[in-house]
Structure 1
Amino acid sequence: MILRTGQRMVFIGDSITDCGRRDVAAPYGSGYVSLVRALVDARHPELELEWVNRGVGGDTVRDLAARWDDDAIAERPDWLAVLIGINDIWRHYGDRPDEAVGIEEYERTLRDLLRRAVDATGCRLILGDPFFIEADRSVPQRADTDRYAAVVAGLATEFDAVHVPNQAAFDRVLAVSPATRWADDRVHPHLPGHAVLADAYLSALGVS
Structure 2
Amino acid sequence: MIFEQGQRIVFIGDSITDCGRRDSAAPYGDGYMSLVQAFVTAARPDLGLRWVNRGVSGDTVRDLAARWQADVVDERPDWLSVKIGINDVWRFFENMPDAAVPLDEYTATLRTLLATAVERTGCRLILADPYLIESDHDDPQYVMTGDYAATVATLAKEFGALHVPVQAAFDRVLTSTRPADWAHDRIHPNLAGHAVIARAFLDVIG
With the shorter chain as reference, the TM-score category is over 0.9
How big is each residue's C-alpha offset from its partner over 1:53-110, in whole Å with a ceiling of 9 and x where there is no partner?
Answer: 0000000000000000000110000000000000000000003221000000000000
In the alignment, which residue of structure 1 is the partner of 2:197?
197
What residue in structure 2 maps to residue 122 of structure 1? 122
Q: Which residue of 1 aligns with 2:92?
A: 92
- What SS is found at the alignment partner of 1:113? helix
Hey, what's the Cα distance between the residues in 2 that align with 1:135 and 1:86? Answer: 17
The separation in 1 between residues aligned to 2:99 and 2:157, in whole angstroms, is 28
Structure 2: tracts of 5 or more residues without a match:
none
How many Å separate the matches in 2 of 1:142 and 1:5?
Answer: 39
Q: Runs of 5+ in structure 1 lacking a partner?
A: none
TM-superposition CA deviations, 1:168-207 (whole Å, max 9, x none): 000110011000000000000001000000000000111x
- For residue 5 of structure 2, what is the amino acid of its counterpart? T
Q: Distance in 2 between matches of 1:83 and 1:131?
A: 10
**Pair 1:49-2:49 in alignment:** yes
**Aligned pairs, how many?**
206
TM superposition score normalised by structure 1: 0.98
CA–CA separation in structure 1 for the residues paired with 2:201 and 2:163: 9
- Aligned alpha-carbon RMSD (Å): 0.5
Report the TM-score when normalising by structure 2: 0.99
Q: Does residue 1:8 correspond to 2:12, yes or no?
A: no
Question: Could you tell me how far apart the structure 1 residues matched to 2:167 and 2:59 are?
Answer: 19
Q: In the alignment, which residue of structure 1 is the partner of 2:184?
A: 184
Note if 1:172 corresponds to 2:164. Answer: no
3-state SS in 2 of match to 1:97: coil
CA distance in 1, matches of 2:205, 2:160: 13
Spell out structure 1 runs of 4+ moving beyond 4 A: none
The DSSP-based 3-state class of the residue aligned with 1:116 is: helix
Residues 111-165 of structure 1, C-alpha deviation per residue, up to 9 Å, x if partnerless? 0000000000000000000000002111000000110000000000000001000
Distance 1:35 1:68 in 2: 24
Matched with 2:106 is 106
Which residue identity is paired with 1:139?
D
SS where residue 24 of structure 1 aligns? coil
* 1:160 counterpart letter in structure 2: G
Per the alignment, residue 60 of structure 2 pairs with 60
